[in-house]
Structure 1
Amino acid sequence: MIDKTPRPLGLAQLSLLNTAPPRLVGIAAEAGFDFIGVRVRPVTPSERPYDLQPGSPMLRDTLDRMHDTGVTVRDIEFLLMDGSEQRETWLRMMEAGRALGADSLTVAAADPDTARLMHNIAQMAEDGRSFGITPTLEAISYQPVASIAQAADIARQTGCQIVVDTLHFNRFDGGGKDSAGKADQWTQLSANAVLVPLVQLCDGPARRPVNREELIIESRSERGVPGEGDFDLAAVVAALPDGLPVSAEVPSDRHVAEFGELAWARRLKSAVDSVLESASTLRAAATLERAGNK
């Protein structure tokens, strides 16, 4: 029997980075998504900032659109933990997140000092309790915390959770040229599924970019439509719990310019639906195989 457990489907802000949150809500609704992710602070100096602090006009407009469409905000982003004093920053982000109804704040680790990083994430997790927001640590292939295993170890010790991003999941190489790193990623995905509140889907070629600069460019602006590349996305989804939210995080400057915002969102929704259907088929086949081996 194919699993029919509904998975909430989301549209990540990075898929339409230059689309302001009120409009992003409307586009997500028209394309058939259930929720969006929102950047409540810019990550790079060139990004357009969105003021979503309590009392701001943009927050009011976003909440109005959410009320009209039924689309919710599940996750906010993005804070790069670099070892500096960032508590006031994440508290402001959590204020915006609580106003939007979000329950997670995505972070990544640029701090090479593991003890300091863990102290800061633990403090963030403690602060988040009063906002109803949990930090979610994303393993980034070109940052110090690059693997599911590293992120899960930190999560278990600090009280945060982890986000699985299929780009970085596939780009992690364990620091070597053999396949041991990727094999370990698959082992860790299953072992730490309980820590995962969200999986972000995108696709890409099997060939890994040759250096850090190319990894960054791919990550921020050149990802592939789910199901149109070489990543085994259905297997990733099938390895995670029923009903786990799935978000399309597919930045592609050229495709957004070519198709327009709404058509791009609709293309991503159709692609995610196809991946989920394939994942359900995989899970059903695995269930039948286990039953036959009893």
Structure 2
Amino acid sequence: MTGNAQRPLGLAQLSLLNTAPPDLVAVAAQAGFDFIGVRVRPVTPAERPYDLHPGSPMLRKTLSRMQDTGVTVRDIEFLLLDGSDQREAWLRMMEAGQALGASSLTVAGADPDSTRLVGTLARMTEDGRGFGITPTLEAISYQPVASIAQAADIARQAGCRIVVDTLHFNRYNGPGAAAQWEELRANADLVPLLQLCDGPAARPATREELVTESRSEREVPGEGKFSLAAAVAALPASLPVSAEAPSDRRVAELGELGWARLLKSGVDAVLAQASSLQLTGTLDTAGAK
């Protein structure tokens, strides 16, 4: 579908949060993506829930669309690990993920107790083996686990992996921010998926603005100021890449398929630039977009 023999390309659920998974499969196929990410558990009370548990009509319809189009599900989301007992929630998510053929479940670390978080993730990782699903810890710029270094350290202790989101990679400004690029390259072995979006160079001033940008105001890859090609080039050439770029305004303007096609074009352009960087051995983390 992508014409890129080296790496699969995906469309994250957050890019079209209000598009039900069966329809997301169809949109992804028409736009030229190979896989999708699926939100099997709502993050906020305002989100539309998607029932994808074994036996549900939506699961059957999603699987039928997948069979018809060849689009697969690679990752499911999203669980915010806050220190409470969430085992029942992740087991249900893993049941849905296994039925969809997913291989990873994205989580974030909101628990300020890192020792407890490691224990939670270790238990989750052990549970995931029975479903063929590995937890992937995402560094979120406004959560306690905010940097690649933090996420990688916790993941190595727990035996799981990390997912890299270029928004949060660029928005992190805490201790060790200057070493983010070194940490990305040093922990490439932990990364099963790179999520691409773009944005302005200026970091939002407040946590509320960071959350708003993250959930509904991201830019098309290549249209902003992030060093996306350098991020791609810093990781293995075969690594799957997913477009995670929600924009309520532009989805309303372009429609679901129009937005998905624009994201696909942006990802393709970034990957072409990254290939040039890899060929020349130049990783311009300041100027490469």
In the superposition, the TM-score normalised over structure 1's length comes to 0.94
CA–CA distance in 1 between the matches of 2:79 and 2:87?
11
Report the residue type matching 1:155 in the other structure.
A
Say whether the 8 Å CA contact 1:5–1:242 is kept in structure 2.
no
2:274 aligned partner: 279
CA–CA distance in 2 between the matches of 1:39 and 1:166?
19
1:156 aligned partner: 156
2:95 aligned partner: 95
CA–CA distance in 2 between the matches of 1:40 and 1:127?
17
CA–CA distance in 1 between the matches of 2:124 and 2:25?
27
Q: Does 1:209 find its partner at 2:204?
A: yes
How far off its partner does 1:17 sit? 0.1
1:242 aligned partner: 237
CA–CA distance in 2 between the matches of 1:65 and 1:54?
16
SS of the residue 1:117 aligns to: helix
Q: How does 1:1-294 map to 2 (within 5 A)?
A: 6-175=6-175, 181=177, 183-286=178-281
2:285 aligned partner: none
CA–CA distance in 2 between the matches of 1:41 and 1:163?
18
CA–CA distance in 2 between the matches of 1:132 and 1:219?
29
CA–CA distance in 2 between the matches of 1:151 and 1:215?
19
SS of the residue 2:63 aligns to: helix
Which contiguous aligned blocks of 4+ residues in structure 1 show a shift greater than 6 angstroms?
Answer: none
1:290 aligned partner: none
Per-residue displacement from partner, 1:203-231 (whole Å, max 9, x unpaired)? 00010001111100000000011000000
CA–CA distance in 2 between the matches of 1:232 and 1:5?
24
Deviates more, 1:5-14 or 1:26-35: 5-14
Per-residue displacement from partner, 1:116-153 (whole Å, max 9, x unpaired)? 11110000000000100000000000000000000000
How far off its partner does 1:41 sit? 0.6
Per-residue displacement from partner, 1:79-119 (whole Å, max 9, x unpaired)? 00011110000000000000000000000011111111111
1:292 aligned partner: none
Per-residue displacement from partner, 1:250-275 (whole Å, max 9, x unpaired)? 00000000000000000000100000
Per-residue displacement from partner, 1:40-94 (whole Å, max 9, x unpaired)? 0100000000000000000000000000000000000000001111000000000
How far off its partner does 1:7 sit? 1.0
CA–CA distance in 1 between the matches of 2:187 and 2:18?
33
Percent identical among aligned pairs is 77
Aligned residues: CA RMSD: 0.9
Bigger radius of gyration among the two: 1
SS of the residue 1:157 aligns to: helix
Say whether the 8 Å CA contact 1:149–1:188 is kept in structure 2.
yes
CA–CA distance in 2 between the matches of 1:40 and 1:87?
15
SS of the residue 1:127 aligns to: helix
In the superposition, the TM-score normalised over structure 2's length comes to 0.95
CA–CA distance in 2 between the matches of 1:7 and 1:144?
32
Task: List alignment gaps of at least 5 residues for structure 1.
Answer: 288-294
How far off its partner does 1:5 sit? 5.5
